[in-house]
């Protein structure tokens, strides 16, 4: 990704600056994670053998332990904090930390789904403590369950996750009835979609739910998780977006961000390397209001089979499958409108 951004000239644009991230402090991590859990991750990182670490989701196939894991994860958190601090201080209108976001499954007391310390929750906790209202939009193929949990009882964070339904995909959550508790009732929104949902149907769901809710919430900051495991070639998931379908989402988020004035973006899941490199390069170019050429520069050597940023669209779903997909997604939209829209007088 970084190589493609560089050879495409995006990193050299006059309105793009590369900031050096810092390592998050232990006290910052502990604003959103149990101190015992944080200390266990630190001990394992330093080579200790910790009995019962599976209780904390560590040592699994999704979350293997390794030397230095505390420091690398704290740096990931620090990259997201750096991005949020640049935006909230007014030094930047937009900041993109692509290393962040993949930890959106991490829970207060356990690792999950490749996530150890939930950088999005930590960053938004700091923003809420500073008196800011945050709209969090998660377009990763997997439900952003850890972020939802982190602010499930808060009216200061609107979390919206649009994802492949947990009926078919990890983590098995993110259903429409998960709308928050206490003061946070109505401020957690889930848009589960059917497998093999393609660009047109995905955008139909996005347009129906996300812009009206964000505008009704009136946040101070837009925070977006830009997972690209929605791609039709992703080996772990079943949605069917193209890179141009993904970038259209970024463009629409940019419209919302321009109305709000502050936009923080992080990366997320993505397990097809060509989709990751192209999509996040396209996203940064969109954020910088820069038109990329259609062709991948010849000097890009890491994935030599790539020639274009946009995909040749996959074949459309057969009519009988398309009917099932539309029926499932339509039911989801009806439930969201019924459960959440009245809260915002929509």
Instruction: Note the pLDDT tens digit of each residue in 208-221.
Output: 999 999 999 999 99
Q: What pLDDT score does 19 carry?
A: 97
Q: What pLDDT score does 304 carry?
A: 81
Name the residue with higher pLDDT: 305 or 245: 245
Range of the domain at 282: 2-23+76-344
Model confidence over 246-263: pLDDT tens digits?
Answer: 999 999 999 999 999 999
- What percentage of the chain exceeds 90 in pLDDT? 97
Is 291 within the bounds of a domain? Answer: yes
The residue assigned the tokens 């099932």 is: 324
Encoded tokens for 2: 């970084």
Is 336 within the bounds of a domain? Answer: yes
- In whole angstroms, what is the distance from residue 150 CA to residue 159 CA? 10
Please check the confidence at residue 49 and state whether its pLDDT lies above 90: no
Q: What pLDDT score does 305 carry?
A: 87
Is 64 within the bounds of a domain? Answer: no
Phi, psi angle pair for 204, to nearest 5°: -60, -45
Model confidence over 31-40: pLDDT tens digits?
Answer: 999 999 999 9
Residues classed as catalytic: 104
Inter-residue contact 331 to 171 (CB < 8 Å): no
Model confidence over 104-126: pLDDT tens digits?
Answer: 999 999 999 999 999 999 999 99
Instruction: Give residue 90's region: left, alpha or beta (phi > 0; psi -120 to 50).
Output: left
The least confident of 94-103, 180-189, 296-305 is: 296-305
Per-residue b/e over 31-67, b at no fewer than 16 CB within 10 Å? ebbeeebbebbbebbeeeebeebeebbbeeeebebee
Pairing of β 157-164 and β 134-138? parallel
- In whole angstroms, what is the distance from residue 323 CA to residue 124 CA? 39
Inter-residue contact 228 to 275 (CB < 8 Å): yes
- In whole angstroms, what is the distance from residue 200 CA to residue 241 CA? 9
Is 120 within the bounds of a domain? Answer: yes
Q: What pLDDT score does 50 carry?
A: 86
Q: What pLDDT score does 314 carry?
A: 87
Highest mean pLDDT among 44-53, 75-84, 314-323: 75-84
Please check the confidence at residue 265 and state whether its pLDDT lies above 90: yes
Is 36 within the bounds of a domain? Answer: no
Number of domains the chain contains: 1
Name the residue with higher pLDDT: 34 or 51: 34
Residue 160 belongs to a domain with what CATH number?
3.40.800.20
Is 38 within the bounds of a domain? Answer: no
Please check the confidence at residue 164 and state whether its pLDDT lies above 90: yes
């Amino acid at each position: 990704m970084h190589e493609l951004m560089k050879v495409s000239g995006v990193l050299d644009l006059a309105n793009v600056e590369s900031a050096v991230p810092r390592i998050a402090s232990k006290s910052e991590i502990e604003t959103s994670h149990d101190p015992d859990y944080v200390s266990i991750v630190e001990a394992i990182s330093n080579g200790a053998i910790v009995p019962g670490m599976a209780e904390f989701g560590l040592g699994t196939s999704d979350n293997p332990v390794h030397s230095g894991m505390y420091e690398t994860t704290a740096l990931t958190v620090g990259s997201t904090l750096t991005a949020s601090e640049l935006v909230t201080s007014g030094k930047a209108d937009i900041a993109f930390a692509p290393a962040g976001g993949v930890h959106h499954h991490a829970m207060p007391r356990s690792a999950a789904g490749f996530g150890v310390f939930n950088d999005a929750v930590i960053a938004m906790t700091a923003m809420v403590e500073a008196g800011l209202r945050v709209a969090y939009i998660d377009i990763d193929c997997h439900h952003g369950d850890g972020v939802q949990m982190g602010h499930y009882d808060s009216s200061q964070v609107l979390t919206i996750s649009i994802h492949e339904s947990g009926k078919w995909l990890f983590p098995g959550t993110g259903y429409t009835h998960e709308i928050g508790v206490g003061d946070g009732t109505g401020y957690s929104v889930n848009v589960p979609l059917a497998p093999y949902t393609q660009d047109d149907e995905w955008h139909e769901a996005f347009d129906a739910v996300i812009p009206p809710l964000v505008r009704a919430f009136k946040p101070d900051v837009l925070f977006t998780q830009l997972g690209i495991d929605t791609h039709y070639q992703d080996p772990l998931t079943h949605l069917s977006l193209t890179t141009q379908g993904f970038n259209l989402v970024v463009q629409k988020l940019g419209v919302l961000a321009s109305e709000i004035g502050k936009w923080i973006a992080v990366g997320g899941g993505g397990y097809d390397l060509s989709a990751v490199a192209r999509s996040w390069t396209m996203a940064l170019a969109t954020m910088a209001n820069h038109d990329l050429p259609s062709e991948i520069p010849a000097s890009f050597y890491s994935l030599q089979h790539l020639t274009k940023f946009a995909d040749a669209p996959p074949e459309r779903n057969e009519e009988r499958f398309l009917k099932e997909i539309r029926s499932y997604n339509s039911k989801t939209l009806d439930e969201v409108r019924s459960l959440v829209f009245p809260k915002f007088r929509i």
